[in-house]
Chain A
Amino acid sequence: MGPGETEITLTINGKATKVKVETRTTLLDACRERLEITGAKRVCDRGTCGACTMIVNGKTVYGCTTLAVDNVGKKIETIENLTAGAKPHPIVPAFSNNDALQCGYCTPGMVMASKGLLDRTPNPTYDQVKAGLGGNLCRCGTYVGIRKAVLEAAKELRASGGRKSGGSNA
């Protein structure tokens, strides 16, 4: 296909969504610029900061470093899904409870990286949290708060029986 525009269907947060993209459009740009799904941020656009983190088929990826056309037929989860249900995913209040952000620019990516980590490792140690967030940078240096937030959310998830997602969608 391509190089011109093509209409594809992406499954984002449980919803089949049609979108016109060029073959060179990244998944991140398809979301942000064509679908008004702007939670994931574009910072480095080179796979080196994590601000664009999404979860695709259960694994965290950089939305800026994968083509939209390469994600047809996959389950894409963005941060919007974490507040789609009646109650947000426990990682969301845990971030505010623990001062896990300052300017907030890295936060959507950090939240999704944290969610991806908790999906895989529901009961992480401090070191596992640290390593698990190794793909995300925070210029403001809020790492300590973020790690506390993940540990708090893990506790909360265990107490509530391991509910994984805010929305029931992805």
Chain B
Amino acid sequence: MNAFEYASPATLKEALGLLGNSWSDAAVLAGGTDLLSLMKDHIAEPKRVVNIKGIKELGGITKSGGGLRIGANATVDELMESAAVRAEYPSLVAAARGIDSPQVRNMGTVVGDLCQRPRCWYYRNGFGLLAMKGGKSLVESGQNEFHSIFSSGPAKFVSASSFGPALIALGAKVKIASASGSREVAVADFFKAPTGDGDREIDLKPNEIVTEIVVPAAKGAKNATYEVRNKEGLDWPLATASVVLTMKGANVATAKIVLGHVGPTPVVAADAASSLAGKAINEETATAAGKAAVAGAKPLSDNGYKVQLAAVAVKRALLAAAGKA
């Protein structure tokens, strides 16, 4: 790890004043479960580390306007234990439980989960987000069994966040503050596939802090996340699906389906979702929606198996949401 100046401000205003205009000026520290590893591997080398855990206004998970406000310092464990979350958002509880290490859940924040950097081994070993060498993608010509099956551009890593797809399906937003004001971004737009090596995979600038996540009221919408994993713990999923269903009687009124860990951003499967309108959820319709969700997949040399996993994740998430799992 490089040496750095450390600050633990008590207010958001102070914290924002300590950030800079380049990523090497300063880094925000929440739980540290990703940042410390990035720094040990010299992927992040900030001159200053700004610990936000002492900022009270960024804490807590509260009910707000029928929905939820998840403060930047709220941990995955707090989310999993929250009665308000458990009552209405089984999809978020499943994403939290999937992070199978109690230690990671105790330390890591939900906002940090959205901001975590990709796990691509080329990126983590210093070859850059796009992992290009001599104009060629190291991912395409190398080991890519855990990489993207949904890339249209040069980014071949997968978004590491399990909360991202669940929050997108629920229609959540993030609030972001900088010294010059604050803005709101739909979680769906917060993730972006980078096209240049200097780009980030999230819509965040070096002088900004995500202050909270706002989740709209579930209003009885059925929701679920299903994860397919290689091993139970200490690893990221191979493919996930998060779904939200509103019903009209026994049939689907509206559906949202978002895939995780299969593309450089969470992948919204709009066609698969709209094809469910007016239908009941059963083995047959759920299987068809799963197939439709992966219709546009473009696997690399060694990850064709993920297409099938993603289709199955969609099917099982739908059946779980409909109470038929």
Contacts and interface: CB of A to CB of B under 8 A. Distances in A.
Interface of A: 1-4, 22-24, 26, 45-50, 53, 59-62, 64-67, 69-70, 113, 116-117, 131-132, 134-137
Interface size class of B (residues with CB under 8 A): 20 to 34
6 contacts: A23-B5, A24-B1, A47-B107, A69-B8, A70-B32, A134-B100
A137 B47 CA distance: 33
A105 to B, nearest CB: 16
Given A65-B36, A67-B36, A23 B107 contact: no
B232 A134 contact: yes
A24 B33 contact: no
Contacts, number: 94
B104 interface: yes
B4 A2 contact: yes
Given A50-B234, A67-B36, A134-B232, 7 more contacts: A2-B3, A2-B6, A3-B3, A26-B36, A46-B40, A47-B33, A61-B103
A66 B108 CA distance: 11
B106 interface: yes
Contacts of A134: 100-102, 232-234
A48 B3 CA distance: 23
Interface string B262-293: 00000000000000000000000000000000
What does DSSP make chain B's interface, helix, strand, loop or mixed? mixed
A107 B105 CA distance: 21
Contacts of B39: 24
Nearest to B35: A65
Contacts of B53: 70
Contacts of A136: 101
Nearest to A57: B106
Contact of B33 (A23, A60, A65, A70): A65
Q: Which of A2, A4, A132, A137 has the most CB of B within 10 A?
A: A2
A132 B80 CA distance: 14
B32 A65 contact: yes
A45 B36 CA distance: 10
B110 interface: no
Nearest to B100: A134
Interface string B17-36: 00000000000010011001
A137 B233 CA distance: 9
Contacts of B33: 47, 62, 65
